[in-house]
Amino acid sequence: MLPDVIDDRFARKAVEKGADGLIPVAAGAGGHGGRQSPFALMQEIRAWFGGPIALSGAIANGRSILAAQVLGADLAYIGSAWIPTTEARASEGYKRAIVEGRAGDVVYTDLFTGIHGNYLRQSIAAAGLDPDDLPRGSASGMDVAGGLAGDAKVWRDIWGAGQGIGAIDGIETVSARVAALTAQYRAAVACVPLQASRFLR
């Protein structure tokens, strides 16, 4: 079992309850993302936990995968990059919004579920809400229909996305995206010695 955790306190609770590994959900992750920088989050968890970790949060290219490993993660947990693939069952509008979006198009709010999460500005506006002036959510639970225009539903029309979407420039097959991530990762690994040598002189 690898549960999502948003800070060191929850990580410790998860391990106490028998978690085999952890998925630290850092700032910028799609959906219910945490607030902490991946640097801070990984630093605190790796200080005491030696088990498997899959870091999540705005990871959408090969360089980010390598960065997650450098921070101490065993794996990079990628979410939003898979939505605009031909195999994904997301709507075409959702896929296109991710391709066209950038980090600045992601809104962090607790309105829709009572827990803070990252959602695409375009979908919030299309549902009849002002993305720049959203009311506070209720911690007592989610309201999957309240406050939206027409027949819009939170579960269907409010689209989660992470801040890494700026790295996604098209809709393609999963295999093509895997190939691109692999090539980017290998290129990043190859340039690390060159980058390091510049600063170690």
Mode of pairing for the β-strands spanning 54-56 and 75-77: parallel
> Would you state the pLDDT for residue 12?
98
In the numeric block, which tokens belong to residue 103?
């980090």
> Would you state the pLDDT for residue 192?
85
> Would you state the pLDDT for residue 139?
66
10-residue mean pLDDT profile of the chain (201 residues): values are 96 98 97 94 98 98 97 97 98 97 96 93 95 84 59 87 97 98 96 72 64
3-state secondary structure 123-182: HHHHCCCCCCCCCCCCCCCCCCCCCCCCCCCHHHHCCECCHHHHHCCCCECHHHHHHHHH
Provide the 3-class DSSP secondary structure of residue 79: coil
Q: Which of 118, 133, 153, 122 is nearest to 35 (CA)?
A: 118
> Would you state the pLDDT for residue 70?
96
**Half-sphere exposure of 122 toward its Cβ, with a 13 Å CA cutoff?**
15
> Would you state the pLDDT for residue 196?
67
